[in-house]
Structure 1
Amino acid sequence: MHNHGLGSWMTKRRLKSPEKTALVFDGHETTYRQLADAADRVSAVLRQRGVGKGDRVAYLGENSPEFLQVLFGTVQLGAVFVPVNTRLAPPEVTHVLTDSEAVALIHDPEFTERVAPGVQAARIAHVLVTGEGSADAAGLAPALRGASGGHADADVELGDPAAIIYTSGTTGRPKGAVLSHGNLTWVSMNCIVDYDVVSTDVALMISPLFHVASLGMGALPVILKGATIVLEKGFEPGSALAQIQRHGVTMLSGVPTTYQLMADHPEWAATDLSTLAKLTCGGSAVPTRILNAYEERGLSFSQGYGMTETSPGATSLAPHMTRAKQGSVGVPHFFTDVRIADEHGAMVPRGTVGEIEISGPNVFLGYHGLPEASTDAFTADGWFRSGDLGYLDGEGYLFIADRLKDMIISGGENIYPAEVENLLSDIEHVTGVAVIGVPDERWGEVPWAVLTVREGASVDTEAVRAHLDGKIARYKIPKNAIVVDELPRTASGKVRKGDLRARYTPRV
């Protein structure tokens, strides 16, 4: 038997760089030897409870060393890791646990009440809480101290499932995307090639590891190269700035909102950012005001596009092209291909909007337990149908138009909200924006803008319309602008536009 997948990574890191710092968390350093030994003990604990190849092991917890210990301990057995979004409500947690058919669950103690219905519904026999546990809950820490048996070397191929990660649910009930060992290996290789990850890097991890971007394009490529992760339990801009200066952070990943909050923090100007060399941003295009703030400090971004089903990276825009190709999400990653198709599946000319299709070893195996949805997700020749609209310019750079489901049809004209949102993001004091279609008796649908703004600021419909006037066709300009305290978002930062449409449709 031999594990050709992620389960071999810890053994090889223990051999190649045993005393190198793998993690820094809460002031404590963990070497690769210690991380590998802990993963071995996790696999022993799970194996003693009957967990084997193909079984699903769920994990619900904030960023911590235990997250990575359980991940690598699980895949050593050939079992499948199921990270659960910590922001889910009990019914949503129940769905993930039952749908994935998890046989074991490890969770932080603060989530005990939230997981209880799911544990019962899924009939999960083996439940452990991180830490020491209590009279009512078995603790992971004492279980690991009592574990024995050494490293598990299951028979695992790159094509075998490694993880089930649930989609953000912007198109309905979350589906479990099955990612193989090969998917996660190749997306790591894409990052190493396109973001120039090296073993001397120090990467600050501020986004939740249950999110596929933080895992597939953050933690895993850094570990594969034997670099160091500075792991934060959650994101707080002041703490992130302090960690950059304290540890000489070289790499940082985030979404536009996190970068904006850091730039707005009182310590921004005083923080030493001289070690930062690699900034990556996903989720949406970086607004001009954020580009300006970071360029003033000598920093620029790699931007990109992807989704859970592509592990998640599909394209990347190099920092030196940020201005020249502003608004683009770049070119395909090194081991990935992208094409554009019309509604009949035929390829379209450069500059023509169509559905983005993706191919490569980072594209997922399918949706767990949903054979029809899995088949529908691919073309006849095996390309993944993203459900996103976009076009390739003359040089092969990808521009996103929008998701198919979010397209607004007003008086027979197609409106792609992303185009309008990118412009609205540059209005002073606007911190978040979503453009949705609202029913209209005359036009069928008209666009509305839903905004969040800085505390104490105000933005109204007239300001929005004035900002857009002359920049886009008038039929694309929102007929109404509403300021809200918070936009409903998924864990990956995507706005739940379905929630907004449901909220405002009755007003018409």
Structure 2
Amino acid sequence: MANASASVWSHAAAAPDRVALRGSGSVAWTYGELRERAATVRELLDTHRIRPGDRVLLVAPSVPEFVMAYYGILAAGAVAVTANTMATERELTYMGRDAGVRLVLAWHALAPVAHRTADELGVAVREVGEGLGGFGPADSAPEPLPVDGRDTGALLYTSGTTGRPKGAQLTHGNLASCAAIFRDIHSIGADDRAVTGLPLFHVFGQACVMGTTMLAGGSLTLLERFDAGAMTALIRRDRPTFIAGVPTMWNALLRATEEGDVDFAGLRLASSGGASLPVEVMRAFEERFGCTIVEGYGLTETTGAGTCHLAGEPAAPGTVGRALPGCAVAVRDDTGADLPPGEVGEVHIKGPVVMKGYWNRPDATGEALDADGWLRTGDLGSLDAEGDLRIVDRKKDLVIRGGYNVYPREVEEVLYEHPDIVEAAVIGVPDPHYGEEVAAVVALRAGATLDVRELRSWAKERLSAYKVPHLLAVVDELPKGATGKILKRAIDPAAVRAL
């Protein structure tokens, strides 16, 4: 099977002057330049005696040099272990030691923590600068090493919300399948221009956006760190046909713009993932920009893919679409039996995008993957008669109040309808009487105030009494991860108070 980096080489051979990458500055890289620079990294790995299958820790933001380093690692047959740029020395050391990395490649601005990590691991570190990264031009650009489809190409560590982070092994076959699926269903080609503020170390930006654009031969504009003002400036400059983000990004664009501020006329696709998209945010975005957001669903363990809305095919509001081509989705009860349409159970996914397993975790792999290749996602959902999937919540986020199941996403959807609420998260707080109480943490639009009694009355008109939040905290902004996803585990239950 072809190496997952092979598309960069093939486009460089066919159209070397076609633009592959742009940053927020004025510099643009062609496919010919990207191939040359990836070959430079591959040559560097050879000097450090990195061999096929060896792991290389890559710590870099969403800049063209990330793409250079990533495809250089894959072209050498090595494994890219991509790390969050906000990770601490302790977190990076854990990841590097668990993966057994043999080299650290780090963006120059992250050099201090990278050097301390490398010292702890007893391996070399090389800083990646702008352009050629300070490595000098490669002597040649040989074709990427051939690989087996089951060979690991990237090792992405999960967030660790249920214990220490685990490395999901994404194979060259996983990466190639994800890119090909999205290229085909969204009809992405060489004339398409993508813009994203997603971090490339995360599976959504890395596999679904970068991988798809590079396979198609299009151009990709990268925003190093998402900012609504900077994003609108890039949209004006590069006139994208495709943008990708997470719900908090769409919300930020809505908050930072007025009607007519940004012309989205050339945009034919806006892709949302990473977290459930509130229906109210989707509706407001379409009204403001005249652009429909296509929502999808996937996990790190499924290369970010699983289901998606399909252009031209209506999907029920609040659903994340149907199983992608070549994939299958099932909703099952605790015994593993398939549930009929409309009933809530655990979502399972099968297909060419499902990971090989967790790195050096056979027990965890056995718990997540069954003998037939089905992955237990840990998410609760239901399928309708047409096969559209509705994600209800994370199984572990379910709030059980007095014996009644409360799905936080359902309550959050209602809170997002309130005209003064721009961000919302619902969690369960221990309660001596009910077992758990429903708590909401919200952020308000600029200048707004919230009368909690009025909010409770307002919510009671839209929710059953046991679902209405009885505890509330108002904050300036909800805690978020590097992808912009709201981090419920970072919310302090002690911060909420009785309504």
What TM-score do you get using the length of structure 2 for normalisation?
0.94
Counterpart contact for 1:241–1:268, Cα < 8 Å: no
Deviation at 1:488, TM superposition (A): 2.4
Deviation at 1:434, TM superposition (A): 1.2
Distance 1:261 1:497 in 2: 19
Counterpart contact for 1:461–1:480, Cα < 8 Å: no
Distance 1:155 1:248 in 2: 37
Deviation at 1:268, TM superposition (A): 5.9
1:89-488 mapped onto 2 (5 Å cutoff): 89-124=88-123, 126-131=124-129, 141-145=133-137, 147-151=138-142, 153-266=144-257, 269-282=260-273, 283-318=275-310, 320=312, 325-488=316-479
Question: Would you say 1:34 and 2:25 are equivalent positions?
Answer: no
Distance 1:342 1:266 in 2: 44
The aligned counterpart of 1:47 is 46
Distance 2:312 2:268 in 1: 13
Distance 1:460 1:118 in 2: 49
Deviates more, 1:299-308 or 1:233-242: 233-242
Residues 188 and 101 (structure 1), Cα distance of their counterparts in 2 relative to 1, 3 Å cut: same
Counterpart contact for 1:170–1:497, Cα < 8 Å: no
The aligned counterpart of 2:5 is 7
Structure 1 unaligned regions, length at least 5? 133-138
Deviation at 1:140, TM superposition (A): 6.8
Deviation at 1:152, TM superposition (A): 5.3
SS of the residue corresponding to residue 6 of structure 1 reads coil
Deviations 1:442-492 (A, max 9, x none): 111111101122233223432432232132221111111111233223323
Deviation at 1:424, TM superposition (A): 1.0
Question: Aligned residue pairs: how many?
Answer: 497
Counterpart contact for 1:82–1:164, Cα < 8 Å: yes
Distance 2:454 2:348 in 1: 37
Distance 2:33 2:140 in 1: 16
Deviates more, 1:498-507 or 1:356-365: 498-507
Counterpart contact for 1:199–1:227, Cα < 8 Å: yes
Counterpart contact for 2:20–2:28, Cα < 8 Å: yes
SS of the residue corresponding to residue 42 of structure 1 reads helix
Distance 1:367 1:351 in 2: 32
Identity of aligned residues (%): 33
Counterpart contact for 2:57–2:96, Cα < 8 Å: yes
The letter for the 2-side match of 1:195 is H
Structure 2 unaligned regions, length at least 5? none
Counterpart contact for 2:247–2:278, Cα < 8 Å: yes
Counterpart contact for 2:104–2:114, Cα < 8 Å: no
The aligned counterpart of 1:135 is none
Counterpart contact for 1:437–1:501, Cα < 8 Å: no
Counterpart contact for 1:328–1:400, Cα < 8 Å: yes
The letter for the 2-side match of 1:127 is V
The letter for the 2-side match of 1:316 is C
Note the aligned Cα RMSD (angstroms): 2.2
Distance 2:289 2:143 in 1: 47
Deviates more, 1:487-496 or 1:433-442: 487-496
Distance 1:266 1:502 in 2: 33
Deviation at 1:289, TM superposition (A): 4.4
Distance 2:311 2:182 in 1: 14
Residues 144 and 499 (structure 1), Cα distance of their counterparts in 2 relative to 1, 3 Å cut: same
Runs of 4+ off more than 6 Å? none
Deviates more, 1:385-394 or 1:327-336: 327-336
Deviation at 1:19, TM superposition (A): 1.5
Deviation at 1:192, TM superposition (A): 1.3
Deviations 1:287-306 (A, max 9, x none): 42442343343211101111
Deviations 1:290-324 (A, max 9, x none): 423433432111011111111001111235566x5
Deviations 1:243-265 (A, max 9, x none): 22222211000112212222232
The letter for the 2-side match of 1:238 is G
The letter for the 2-side match of 1:77 is A
The aligned counterpart of 1:136 is none
Deviation at 1:344, TM superposition (A): 0.7
Distance 1:268 1:121 in 2: 52
Distance 1:206 1:372 in 2: 36
The letter for the 2-side match of 1:315 is T
SS of the residue corresponding to residue 468 of structure 1 reads helix
Deviation at 1:242, TM superposition (A): 2.1
Distance 1:496 1:284 in 2: 13
Distance 1:295 1:455 in 2: 21
SS of the residue corresponding to residue 418 of structure 2 reads coil
SS of the residue corresponding to residue 483 of structure 1 reads strand
What TM-score do you get using the length of structure 1 for normalisation?
0.93
Counterpart contact for 1:256–1:287, Cα < 8 Å: no
Deviation at 1:394, TM superposition (A): 1.4
Deviation at 1:194, TM superposition (A): 2.2
The letter for the 1-side match of 2:486 is V
